[in-house]
Structure 1
């Protein structure tokens, strides 16, 4: 009996020991998941995040990780509440009430209040460059306050109640909420201290999912806030890489988990390995034909455009992750209108006689994307036509109007947002004929539903402004990551990492 009892005790202790070991292993795995770290490189570690004027998109990513706004824009361009739980707009479309969530906290654990939002907007009006806060300057009294002619508390229509922030505009602005989703409107406390992150990062409190744990010229480490423990990634190590080639080299030896827009030569390989995320972005390229001196007749412009499209298509067939062919559409979303696109394709292929020049000149702003397009167009024309393409890529000089007039064709990059057609078409104003300019202004005044179809047909049929490609944002990811999204403003959303 004693022997049986003794054996039973030994068995119980053995089981308990094993269970403890298993629990300890499970605990270790859980802790490993909680302490997941990712790394990626950018070409400069920012030391100043007070203003967005000089920030790159990758610097904006950091600001978005460290702060949240009243509203945000999802990957599918929907405006969703963030610090606000709900947004109520009055019937006139002038006043907005942002009802605050109850579960929002600063990184030090203190609650984020409506007064914090109002105080931030007060600082923003004083400190941010005017070009970046046009939406906020449309608030009643905001311009007067910025000019020193009004007191914020009783002169600006931004009012904090116990549970809401109420904002009243001078006039209706359909884009107001969309503007508030941009990085510059994300809540930051003690805004002036964000000018010198190296000295102040550990004194700041953060409204976002992450806070700065350390920073130097070589790297910046973001650490997950304690109140966001559901996020997969605990630490984000941002390193100073001089260029994307260096980032890619580090990626190959598993020292980078994210590489933004890897070299074109790597895209197909990454896609085959399921390590590439391609996300449509608003950026697009258009071809402008200089026809002010009638040196290129309509038939000539038509044939040149048709050949340029063939050149780009031949490249895209081998590199289909970099961009999507416009196929005659000014906006990516309009490619669903197959009837219109087919009609444009038929017209573009229409043959006719014209005196073909031996040389055509092409000007573009210097960028990786434009280098590829220019090279592809030049090589295709060399191999398939009797016309030689000579191109120039410039930086600041691209703004020189007289320089642009000296070229037969111009590559123009534009934000192809179908939600803001007015701004989109206005960006081409200097390339329009007098009659097209008048038609554009008439469309702005008379249209109630932003129907620019008549104007669009005019610039296409005249072959002076023509769509080429819609770009993708390509992201190389390591095996640690199965999903990563950009928000509607094109910024990395680290909270979406899975």
Structure 2
């Protein structure tokens, strides 16, 4: 019977009829919150991929030196204060006296020393270059020195000093990312589903059990330093990957919090006063495969593709957000003015002009995308509509996560629709990814002049000089077009009206620390 109801609800959703069932949750029966995380992570290390929903789990279970609030401001976490030297090369963090692991043992500075050692030694860590601003970090990661030569030092049990190679103005932003939360015993984190009871937790919750269908049960960490601010004693996380089924569960009050509901349901959430919106620094882009010989290496062809993009149609009909008019979101100021590099509307006359300049001979182009996100298919359909109008032959293939990873690894594509992400709140988070040495640059783009500009922006201690270098780098990126940013999304979260205390940070992470059910008789 339940399956019939679910199918019926999905059909209603597809037809856009707005047949949302109104039902008040019986908080006497269920006094815990259910959040849909989507696909569960393979491990609790999460250094080889970026999945913002899976990082929500990290932020429930662990905490770092600092964190980011909903406005993008860096705030204290396990470190209650920090001091930055006058030359901006030394950071001294003071760890809270009441910071403890979930077993009651003290969290000490040496725990962070071990954390950084593990992060830098992890061969699959796509983020490790972010830490190369730390003195000795790169040499250690490349096995040239031992960790005693890395400037991450425990001055005493509660004092951690980190010394940098250069004045990195965004260093705290780097440390605020979920991947830098404090963890230990990485062997247990690797096989977390079998070893969750052995893991020591540093955050507001700890993993209590894994239920049927791998639903996670989290309970309050009584040893957490800010335990009094943790509003719920228990939170369940569901792993429903299909948004249609997650939405059906939401409408049936089996899920209380859901992210990125379909566009055709947004008005229903607004009418029900159950929609939570905030600015984001994440979006989507088209990335070109420079590792493969062919027409993609032709700059005129890439410019042709760029002029075919109609961002207005995408953000009006498919996703909530703003058109990506540059490589950096407008919410992150890179200079005194927001650059307009990409238009919101397509220009097919201009596209045809560049197509005629290119060496395109009618060969078929392969565009690939992740098919588990239902918006991706609609975005792709919108893009190829204009490509076909100017007689570009294109094949489109959607893959699951594992298959897509293999396709990318084997370079069996020409264009990839993918997430366009800044992990931290700084312009360089977006631009440094196209450095030829970046682990994120798997597409083969290489421009020495660009690399030098990014390096100069990092090394200069003058913020105005850094802005100038980044501005030049962005213009160079526009001239080369290794990727085409499409849009920057809004953080869209559906939450039942009985849910209070929900926060979403600027990165888009759903923060569950202060979330609770507001009972009807309160």
Relative to the length of structure 1, the TM-score reads: 0.73
Match of 2:383 in 1: 377
Is 1:423 the equivalent of 2:429? no
- Structure 2 distance, partners of 1:141, 1:464, is 32
1:250 Cα deviation after fit: 1.1
- Structure 1 distance, partners of 2:92, 2:485, is 40
Match of 1:449 in 2: 466
Are the aligned partners of 1:305 and 1:348 in contact in 2 as well (CA < 8 Å)? no
**Which one of 54, 66, 73 corresponds to residue 61 of structure 2?**
66
Q: What SS does structure 1 have at the residue aligned with 2:201?
A: coil
Is 1:102 the equivalent of 2:86? no
- Structure 2 distance, partners of 1:154, 1:462, is 39
Is 1:182 the equivalent of 2:188? no
Match of 1:232 in 2: 231
Match of 2:401 in 1: none
Query: Which has the larger displacement, 487-496 or 62-71?
Result: 487-496
Q: CA RMSD in A?
A: 4.3
Match of 1:265 in 2: 264
- Structure 2 distance, partners of 1:208, 1:423, is 30
Is 1:390 the equivalent of 2:394? yes
Is 1:208 the equivalent of 2:203? yes
1:373 Cα deviation after fit: 1.5
Is 1:218 the equivalent of 2:214? yes
**Which one of 432, 444, 450 corresponds to residue 440 of structure 1?**
450
1:348 Cα deviation after fit: 6.0
Deviation string 1:65-116 (CA, Å, 9 cap, x unpaired) is 1111111122332222211111112233332210122332333444433344
- Structure 2 distance, partners of 1:335, 1:168, is 26
Residues 1:379 and 1:335: Cα distance change in structure 2 (over 3 Å): farther
Structure with the greater alpha carbon radius of gyration = 1
Residues 1:41 and 1:461: Cα distance change in structure 2 (over 3 Å): closer
1:212 Cα deviation after fit: 1.3
Match of 2:491 in 1: 473
Q: What SS does structure 1 have at the residue aligned with 2:330?
A: helix
1:401 Cα deviation after fit: 5.6
Is 1:308 the equivalent of 2:298? no
Are the aligned partners of 1:329 and 1:335 in contact in 2 as well (CA < 8 Å)? no
Unmatched runs of 5 consecutive residues or more in structure 2: 1-26, 289-294, 399-403, 458-464, 517-522
Is 1:82 the equivalent of 2:77? yes
- Structure 2 distance, partners of 1:306, 1:205, is 52
Relative to the length of structure 2, the TM-score reads: 0.70
Aligned runs of 1:17-36 on 2, under 5 Å?
36=31
1:350 Cα deviation after fit: 8.0
Q: What SS does structure 1 have at the residue aligned with 2:467?
A: coil
Are the aligned partners of 2:322 and 2:487 in contact in 1 as well (CA < 8 Å)? yes
Residues 1:230 and 1:171: Cα distance change in structure 2 (over 3 Å): closer
1:132 Cα deviation after fit: 4.1
Match of 1:331 in 2: 328
Match of 1:25 in 2: none
1:239 Cα deviation after fit: 2.4
Query: Which has the larger displacement, 277-286 or 94-103?
Result: 277-286
- Structure 1 distance, partners of 2:299, 2:138, is 46
Deviation string 1:251-290 (CA, Å, 9 cap, x unpaired) is 1110001222233433332233222223333333345796
Deviation string 1:308-341 (CA, Å, 9 cap, x unpaired) is 32xx42353345x533223x33322179988964
- Structure 2 distance, partners of 1:50, 1:345, is 38
Are the aligned partners of 1:362 and 1:410 in contact in 2 as well (CA < 8 Å)? no
1:410 Cα deviation after fit: 6.4
Deviation string 1:218-264 (CA, Å, 9 cap, x unpaired) is 22111112351332222111123242222222111100012222334
Residues 1:366 and 1:166: Cα distance change in structure 2 (over 3 Å): same
Are the aligned partners of 2:210 and 2:216 in contact in 1 as well (CA < 8 Å)? yes
1:195 Cα deviation after fit: 3.1
- Structure 1 distance, partners of 2:504, 2:338, is 32
Is 1:364 the equivalent of 2:355? no
Residues 1:37 and 1:46: Cα distance change in structure 2 (over 3 Å): same
1:213 Cα deviation after fit: 1.4
